[in-house]
Amino acid sequence: MVQLTAPSEGRILFEGVSKSFQRGAAATAALRDVRLEIAPGTIFGVIGYSGAGKSTLIRMVNGLEKPTSGRVIVDGIDIAALRGARLREAQKRTGMIFQQFNLLETVRVRDNVAMPLRLDGVGASAARARADEVLDFVGLGAKADSYPGELSGGQKQRVGIARALARNPKILLADEATSALDPTTTAQIIELLRNVNREYGTTILVVTHEMDVIKDLAREVAVMADGAVVEQGPVLDTFLRPQTSIARDFVTTVVPQGLPDRVVAHLGGEGLWRLLMVDDEVTQPLISDLITRIGVGVNMLHADMTEIQDHTVGQMIVKVTGPGDRVAAARAFLAERVVHLEEVAA
């Protein structure tokens, strides 16, 4: 299929967006002064616990929610200011996928996918031809005549993605799109979403409570708590140096951040360091160099390695022992060779 999305399209700006829901006398602040710039063609992740405001945020991009104050600008257009036909026209630029897929159970897969086009007034045969095209893209061409009830969860989400792509949107919104799926199926859906982004240049905004999804899918991440963005940046930076305790808690679910308290108390904090290495740094002979060149003892307590955004990130927690000047020399040696060194506090 031809890429119809120019890379200049699909920019989303949240300009000081706040939202409160009024229920009788009580008001809930779902969003507080959110400022985000989502570049065209990127994959942007928003992570937060349940109730953080993620759904409210994503639903503003296609006008399903309106800000109480502030503006959501999509490709230069203030979405909340649009009504009627102009709003519907703007909504065509955006596709959305959901945790529970939201397919019509009594309608064949092909017609589920063709539905948005039919609603736009596209003729039946043209809509079906486009449905078959996007179903092929998501790897479900053979299931076009099936009903959703005959499909697995992963296949249903592929249909959801095909339906979202039918109108060739500039932006794809994913609201907890993998949260109902097992890890293997989640990985396949993530790969498919990366393909969508690569092939069509579609901007993807994904909200999730799973840091694994952010790690494998997003390029940039914003961390939300209680309606506010508390931290944002490139995904790799957030994994290497989370700034807030909440970001650290999410990072810990993928890369464990420390040792059990009892172990730290037993070892004592001196010379107890957590080291992070990226790419070529992970293959250096750090430990043997510490022992032979610096002359310290090294007790390796933890090591792991993971792939984050096409980078290899390695982690070690070591206890270095020896005379004070040697331990200091070891610290200086390591600080030169790893991207991040921190004390593991006793």
Question: Which residues contribute to the site for ligand ADP (CB under 6 A)?
Answer: 21, 23, 28, 30, 48, 50-56
Contact, 157 vs 101, CB < 8 A?
yes
Closest approach of Cβ 30 to ligand ADP, in Å? 3
Closest approach of Cβ 315 to ligand ADP, in Å? 29
d(CA 280, CA 278): 6
Q: For residues 52 and 277, which CB has a smaller minimum distance to ligand ADP in the complex? A: 52
Q: For residues 151 and 174, which CB has a smaller minimum distance to ligand ADP in the complex? A: 174
DSSP 272-327: EEEEEEEGGGGGS-HHHHIIIII--EEEEEEEEEEEETTEEEEEEEEEEES-HHHH
Q: For residues 227 and 322, which CB has a smaller minimum distance to ligand ADP in the complex? A: 227
| Helices and strands of the chain, counted as H and E runs | 12, 14
Closest approach of Cβ 100 to ligand ADP, in Å? 14
Q: For residues 40 and 48, which CB has a smaller minimum distance to ligand ADP in the complex? A: 48
Measured CA angle at 58 (ends 52, 63), to 5 deg:
130
With H, G, I as helix, E, B as strand and everything else as coil, classify residue 30: strand
Closest approach of Cβ 180 to ligand ADP, in Å? 15
Q: For residues 50 and 125, which CB has a smaller minimum distance to ligand ADP in the complex? A: 50
Closest approach of Cβ 186 to ligand ADP, in Å? 18
Q: For residues 50 and 292, which CB has a smaller minimum distance to ligand ADP in the complex? A: 50
Nearest by Cα to 227 from 52, 16, 345: 52
d(CA 237, CA 29): 29
Closest approach of Cβ 56 to ligand ADP, in Å? 3
Place of tokens 């979405």: 79
| Residue 254, both tokens | 């993928």
Contact, 44 vs 222, CB < 8 A?
yes
Closest approach of Cβ 59 to ligand ADP, in Å? 8
Q: For residues 30 and 317, which CB has a smaller minimum distance to ligand ADP in the complex? A: 30
d(CA 51, CA 283): 41
